[in-house]
Amino acid sequence: MGTVEVLYRSESGLHPEYSSADAAGADLKAAQEVRIAPGERRLVGTGLHIVLPTGYEAQVRPRSGIAWSYGVTVLNAPGTIDADYRGEIRVMLINHGAEVFEIARGDRIAQLVIAPVERARFLSQGELPESQRGAGGFGSTGI
């Protein structure tokens, strides 16, 4: 994959960073101070704009540490950033915890995973072939 071009519309120093040599996601950092009350959801700006190569997407995923420790997670996980999007990456966080969650500028709030995308061609059919599972869902194969 290689390189992703980035632009910051806020102060610098908020580059996504991989926390370890084998990390799949780069940490996204907050460009602003935000307080999220219990049960509240907020969009948190990162100041980051990116250019993805055609055929790739960026996924915004939760950080397990703040999910486990504070009950704060990415509401629409994973959030998808398309290759043709040029706006600021903002993270939709929700506080499922019991306390107000405070975010300082530069805090790591989510992860960004770059992934290839394969586009399907949808072919309309009169009926679909049978399968062993059929229409069973929501626990039909066991819990």
pLDDT of residue 11 exceeding 70: no
pLDDT for position 136: 80
| C-alpha torsion 100→64→118→7, nearest 10 | 60
What per-residue confidence (pLDDT) applies to 20? 95
62-111: pLDDT as tens digits: 999 999 999 999 999 999 999 999 999 999 999 999 999 999 999 999 99
The mean pLDDT of the chain is 91
Non-local CB neighbours of 69 within 8 Å, separated by 6+ positions: none
Which phi and psi angles does 43 have, rounded to 5°?
-90, 125
Quick one: what percent of the chain has pLDDT higher than 70?
Answer: 94
Measured distance CA(43)–CA(47) in Å, rounded: 12
pTM: 0.85
Mean pLDDT of 15-42: 95
Average pLDDT score over residue span 48-75? 95
CA dihedral for 65, 68, 70, 72, sign (positive or negative): positive
Average pLDDT over residues 19-27: 95
pLDDT score at 10: 61
Q: Domains, the chain, ranges and CATH?
A: 5-116 (2.70.40.10)
